[in-house]
C-alpha cells in the first residue's frame, strides 16, 4: 500500500502530465486561432460509433485552465486531506470529475455533451456528500436535483434537435433553431450556473471539502453552463438575450447583497462566485461572447486561489465565522497575502487579472441598448462586490483573533506552491491572456463618464469599507437591527428566501405524498398482490393442504376424484364404441 504522500504526488503527476500534453496540443490554437474537428470511432462494424472532438481556442484554453487548477488542488490535498483514510477514493472521484469536464469541453454537440454533463452531476454529488453527514447529504441532494432539471431540459433539446437531423452546435447555428430549442438550452445552462431561480444549491454545496469547492465551485461545474451557452451563442436570438440580461442582473444583485450580510466566509466566497457567473451571463446577453469567455478563464484562476486560501484559514483556525476570524496577517502572511490578491482581482482592481476581463464585460454592457433599471442593478452589484470583498479582507487581517486559535500557521509546500501558481495567474493572467489572444482585445466606443464607471464602482466600494471601519454603520456581522424594514432586509440577506423556497416549500407536500404512496402502494396493493402478504397467504394454503393430507381427508377425496374421473372416461369410451 502506497504511503499518503506518495499518493499525493502520484495523482498530482497524472494531472501535471495531462496539463503539459494539453499545452503542447493547444499551443497552435491559442496563438494562431483556427479549429479542427475529428471523429473518434469507438466500435467497429455494425456497432460503429464515432464521437466528434473539437480543438479550438475555447476548448484548448479552457481545458488547460481546468487541468491547471485541478493539479493545484490535487497538490493542495497533501495539506488539507492529510491523514484521510479513503484518500485514493477521493482522488479517483476528482479524476472522474476532470474527465467528465474535458468530455463536455471537447465534444461540440448536444448528444455527446451529455456524457460530460451527466458525469459532472454524478461525480459532483459524490464529492459534495463526501463527509457523509446529514448536512452534506441534504446539500448534495439539493445540488443533484437542481442539476437534474438541466438534464431534462437538455434531453428535450436533443429531441427537438433530432427533427433537424443534427446536434452539432456549428450546424445548428448555420441552419437556425426554433425558440423552444433555444429556451431549453438556455434554461439548462442556467441550472448548472446557478442563475435565478436555481441559485440555492451553490451556497448549500459549500458543505463539501475546500479542495472540492476550489475545483467544482470555481472553475468547472458552475461554469459548465456558461461554457455550453458560449458554444451555443450562435443560435441565440430575439427575446432570449433580454431574458438572459434580466435574470443575470437580478442574480448579480441578489448574491451581492446576500454576501454583504453573510457571516460564513465560505458562503461569502460562494455568493461571490454566483455574482461573477451573473457577470459572465451579462456579457452573453449583449452578444459579447469573447468577453464572457475571457472573464470565465480569469475568474477561474483567482476564485480557485480564494477557495484554497480560505480553506487553509478554516483548516488552521477551525472557524468559518468572519466575526471571530482575524490576526492571520501575522500568523501566515503568505496565505493572507494571496487571499488579498484574489479579493483585489475579484473587485476588478486595476491591473489585476479580473480587471481586464470585468472591464470588457461592463463596457460591452454599457454600449448595448440597456434599460435604466438593469444599469442600476449592474452598477450597484459591482459596488457591493468591492464592499463584501473588502469586508472579508478587513476581517482576516485585523489585529484581533479568535480566542481558540493560538500560534502560527505552518504553511508548507503543499499550500505555498499551488497558491503561488494560482496567485501568479491572478496577478498577471489577465494581462498575459489579453496580450496573447486576439479575441480578448475587443474595443468599445464609450462616452467619457461611462468609461469611468468601473473605476468609480471600485472607489465607492472601498469608501464603503472605510465607512464601515470608522463608523460601523453597516451592521453586517452583528445581526440586523433596522426597525420596520428588517423583514425586507432579512429577505435580501437570505438570497430572497430562495433556499427555503427550494426545499421547505415543497418538503411537507413531498413527505405527505410519499407517506400516501407508502401506505396505498407499498403497504397496500404491492404488499397484498406481489409482496410478503401474498407469499404468506400462498404458504398458508400449501401448509394447510399438507396438514389435511396428513389426516387422510385429502387422500380420500383425491381417491374419490380419481375413481370418478376413471368412470367417466370409461363411460365415454364405451358410448363412442357403440
pLDDT (tens digit, 9 = 90+) per residue, 299-320? 888 888 888 888 888 877 777 7
CA–CA dist 335, 315 (Å, integer): 12
In this predicted structure, what is the pLDDT of residue 576? Answer: 58
CA–CA dist 68, 425 (Å, integer): 10
195 CB-near residues (< 8 Å, 6+ apart): 225, 247, 248, 251, 277, 278, 281
In this predicted structure, what is the pLDDT of residue 482? Answer: 45
Decide: residue 51, CB within 10 A, 0-12 exposed, 13-18 middle, 19+ buried.
middle
Contact 31/39 with Cβ under 8 angstroms? no
Instruction: State the Rg of the chain over Cα.
Output: 30
CA–CA dist 9, 85 (Å, integer): 17
The C-alpha cell 451555443 sits at 232
**pLDDT beneath 70, residues of the chain:** 1-4, 43-49, 82-84, 161, 163-178, 219, 327, 331, 398-411, 470-512, 514-566, 569, 571-578
- For the chain, the distance separating the N- and C-terminal CA atoms, rounded to the nearest angstrom, is 91
In this predicted structure, what is the pLDDT of residue 27? Answer: 78
In this predicted structure, what is the pLDDT of residue 481? Answer: 46
Beta bridge partners of 39: 52
CA–CA dist 474, 409 (Å, integer): 31
Contact 265/321 with Cβ under 8 angstroms? yes
Q: Around Cβ 160, how many Cβ atoms within 10 Å?
A: 18
Residue 240: CA count within 13 A, CB half-sphere: 22
Longest dimension (CA), the chain: 124
CA–CA dist 480, 263 (Å, integer): 12
Cell of 485: 424594514
SS (H, E, C) 132-199: CCHHHHHHHHHHHHHHHHHHHHHHHHHHHHHCCCCCEHHHHHHHCCCHHHHHHHHHHHHHHCCCCCCC
Cell of 56: 479550438
Beta bridge partners of 51: 40
Cell of 45: 462494424
CA–CA dist 242, 245 (Å, integer): 5
pLDDT in tens, 86-106: 777 888 888 888 888 888 888
Question: Which of these, 144, 139, 121, lies nearest to 129 by C-alpha position?
Answer: 139
CA–CA dist 197, 475 (Å, integer): 28
In this predicted structure, what is the pLDDT of residue 528? Answer: 59
Contact 343/390 with Cβ under 8 angstroms? yes
The C-alpha cell 427555503 sits at 500
Q: Around Cβ 303, how many Cβ atoms within 10 Å?
A: 29
Residue 42 has phi, psi (to 5 degrees) of: -95, -45
Amino acid at each position: 500500500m502506497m504511503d499518503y504522500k506518495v499518493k499525493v504526488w502520484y495523482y498530482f503527476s497524472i494531472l501535471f502530465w495531462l496539463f503539459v500534453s494539453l499545452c503542447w496540443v493547444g499551443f497552435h490554437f491559442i496563438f494562431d486561432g483556427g479549429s479542427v474537428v475529428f471523429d473518434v470511432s469507438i466500435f467497429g462494424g455494425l456497432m460503429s460509433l464515432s464521437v466528434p472532438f473539437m480543438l479550438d481556442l475555447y476548448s484548448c484554453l479552457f481545458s488547460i485552465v481546468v487541468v491547471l487548477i485541478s493539479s493545484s488542488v490535487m497538490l493542495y490535498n497533501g495539506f488539507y486531506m492529510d491523514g484521510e483514510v479513503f484518500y485514493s477514493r477521493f482522488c479517483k472521484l476528482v479524476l472522474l470529475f476532470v474527465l467528465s469536464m474535458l468530455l463536455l469541453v471537447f465534444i461540440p454537440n448536444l448528444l455527446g455533451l451529455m456524457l460530460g454533463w451527466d458525469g459532472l452531476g454524478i461525480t459532483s454529488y459524490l464529492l459534495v456528500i463526501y463527509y457523509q453527514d446529514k448536512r452534506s447529504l441534504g446539500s448534495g441532494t439539493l445540488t443533484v436535483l437542481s442539476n437534474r432539471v438541466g438534464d431534462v431540459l437538455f434531453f428535450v433539446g436533443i429531441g427537438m434537435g433530432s427533427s433537424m437531423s443534427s446536434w452539432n452546435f456549428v450546424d445548428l447555428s448555420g441552419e437556425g433553431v426554433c425558440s423552444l430549442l433555444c429556451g431549453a438550452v438556455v434554461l439548462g445552462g442556467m441550472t448548472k450556473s446557478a442563475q435565478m431561480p436555481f441559485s440555492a444549491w451553490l451556497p448549500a454545496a459549500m458543505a463539501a471539502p475546500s479542495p472540492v469547492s476550489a475545483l467544482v465551485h470555481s472553475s468547472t461545474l458552475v461554469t459548465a453552463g456558461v461554457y455550453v451557452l458560449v458554444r451555443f451563442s450562435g443560435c441565440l436570438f430575439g427575446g432570449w438575450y433580454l431574458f438572459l440580461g434580466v435574470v443575470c442582473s437580478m442574480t448579480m444583485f441578489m448574491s451581492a447583497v446576500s454576501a454583504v450580510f453573510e457571516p460564513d466566509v465560505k458562503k461569502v466566497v460562494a455568493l461571490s462566485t454566483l455574482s461573477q457567473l451573473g457577470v459572465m451571463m451579462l456579457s452573453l446577453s449583449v452578444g459579447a461572447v469573447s468577453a464572457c469567455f475571457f472573464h470565465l478563464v480569469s475568474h477561474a484562476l483567482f476564485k480557485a486561489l480564494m477557495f484554497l486560501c480560505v480553506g487553509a484559514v478554516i483548516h488552521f483556525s477551525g472557524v468559518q465565522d468572519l466575526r471571530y476570524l482575524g490576526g492571520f496577517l501575522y500568523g501566515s502572511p503568505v496565505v493572507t497575502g494571496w487571499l488579498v490578491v484574489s479579493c483585489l482581482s475579484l473587485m476588478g482592481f486595476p491591473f489585476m487579472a479580473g480587471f481586464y476581463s470585468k472591464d470588457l464585460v461592463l463596457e460591452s454592457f454599457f454600449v448595448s441598448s440597456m434599460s435604466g433599471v438593469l444599469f442600476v442593478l449592474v452598477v450597484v452589484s459591482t459596488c457591493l462586490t468591492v464592499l463584501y470583498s473588502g469586508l472579508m479582507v478587513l476581517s482576516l487581517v485585523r489585529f484581533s483573533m479568535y480566542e481558540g486559535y493560538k500560534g502560527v500557521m505552518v504553511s508548507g509546500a503543499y499550500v505555498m506552491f499551488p497558491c503561488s501558481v494560482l496567485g501568479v495567474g491572478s496577478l498577471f493572467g489577465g494581462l498575459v491572456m489579453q496580450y496573447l489572444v486576439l479575441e480578448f482585445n475587443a474595443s468599445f466606443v464609450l462616452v467619457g463618464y461611462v468609461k469611468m464607471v468601473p473605476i468609480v464602482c471600485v472607489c465607492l466600494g472601498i469608501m464603503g469599507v472605510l465607512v464601515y471601519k470608522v463608523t460601523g454603520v453597516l451592521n453586517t456581522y452583528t445581526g440586523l437591527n433596522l426597525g420596520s424594514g428588517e423583514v425586507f432586509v432579512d429577505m435580501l440577506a437570505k438570497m430572497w428566501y430562495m433556499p427555503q423556497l427550494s426545499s421547505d416549500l415543497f418538503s411537507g407536500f413531498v413527505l405527505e405524498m410519499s407517506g400516501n404512496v407508502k401506505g396505498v402502494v407499498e403497504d397496500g396493493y404491492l404488499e397484498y398482490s406481489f409482496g410478503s402478504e401474498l407469499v404468506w397467504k400462498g404458504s398458508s394454503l400449501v401448509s394447510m393442504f399438507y396438514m389435511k393430507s396428513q389426516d387422510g381427508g385429502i387422500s380420500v377425496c383425491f381417491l374419490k376424484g380419481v375413481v370418478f374421473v376413471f368412470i367417466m372416461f370409461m363411460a365415454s369410451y364405451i358410448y363412442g364404441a357403440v
